[in-house]
Amino acid sequence: MLKLGVNIDHVATLREARYRGQSAGEPCPVEAALTCEAAGAHGITAHLREDRRHIQDADVRALRRRISTRLNLEMAIAPEIVRFALKLKPDIVCLVPEKRQEVTTEGGLEVARQLTAIKGICKRMGRAKIEVSLFINPDARQVDAAAEAGAQFIELHTGQFAEHYGNARNRRRELNRLIAAAEHAHSLGLRVNAGHGLNYENLPTLHAVPHLEELNIGHSIISRSVEEGLAKAVKEMLRLMKGYRSR
C-alpha cells in the first residue's frame, strides 16, 4: 500500500505571517497534523529550518508527543539541527538541501559531494535508532552515493516531473528518470519515497514509478483544504456576528 505523509509546514507559514515571535497563534500546525491523522494520513512531515521561518522547535516537540503515526523530520546538514534531531528522536529524518533565500526546497541533496558528512550523520542517527532518508534528484550517481552513505531510504525529488507535467514529451522524460532511479535504488537495497510538487492532477501518473512506499505532500493538500473549507469558515463567522445589536 502506498502511504501518505502530510507536510504541515505551510500551516505554520500561515501562522507565522501573523504571530511570528509569539508563543501562540493560529492556525496550529499540531492540530492540523492531528486532523490529517484522523483523516487517514500515515505520517506527518515537518521541516525545522535553520532560520525557523515556519515550523518552530516547540511545534516539533509537540508533534513528537501528540501524533500517533510516523514523524518525519526534514532537516539540513547542520550541527545544531542534527543535535536537535538526536534529542527529539523522530521516527525518521530526511536530509534536504537548504538555502536561506529559497521559498521552498529547490533541487535534491548533493550526496556525492558531501558523502563523508552525510555518512557520519547516518551513523549517528543509526545509533539512536532513527532511520535516514535522503532527498535526491532521480540521478544514478546520487542513488549510488545514498547507498554508500548508509541511508535506509531515498526520497525522489519529483519537482521536475511536476514542473513539466503540462508538456507530454517532457513529462514522459521526467517520469522515465523517476522510474529508472527507483529501479536502481531498489536494486541497491534502498527503500523509495517521493515528493515535491505533487498534486491532485499529476499524482495518478506517478503510479508508473515502481517500489514507492510513501509520498510526502504538503502544499496541494493545504491549498485544497483552504478552498474546501472557506465557505464553512465564512458561515461560522457570520453566525457569530448575528448576536450584535447596535446601541
Residues annotated as catalytic are 47, 74, 196
Give the list of residues 6+ apart from residue 2 with CB closer than 8 angstroms, or none.
212, 213, 214, 215
Phi, psi of 186 (to 5 degrees): -60, -40
Q: What is the C-alpha separation between 168 and 151, in angstroms, rounded?
A: 33
Nearest to 171 by CA among 144, 134, 209: 209
Q: What is the C-alpha separation between 49 and 80, in angstroms, rounded?
A: 11
Amino acid at 47: H
Handedness of CA 171, 11, 107, 182 (dihedral sign): negative
Q: Which three cell numbers stand for residue 40?
A: 487517514
Nearest to 138 by CA among 210, 85, 194: 194
218: region left, alpha or beta (phi > 0 left; psi from -120 to 50 alpha): alpha
Residues in the chain: 247
Q: Which three cell numbers stand for residue 108?
A: 535534491
Contact predicate 37/69, CB 8 Å: yes
End-to-end CA distance of the chain: 61
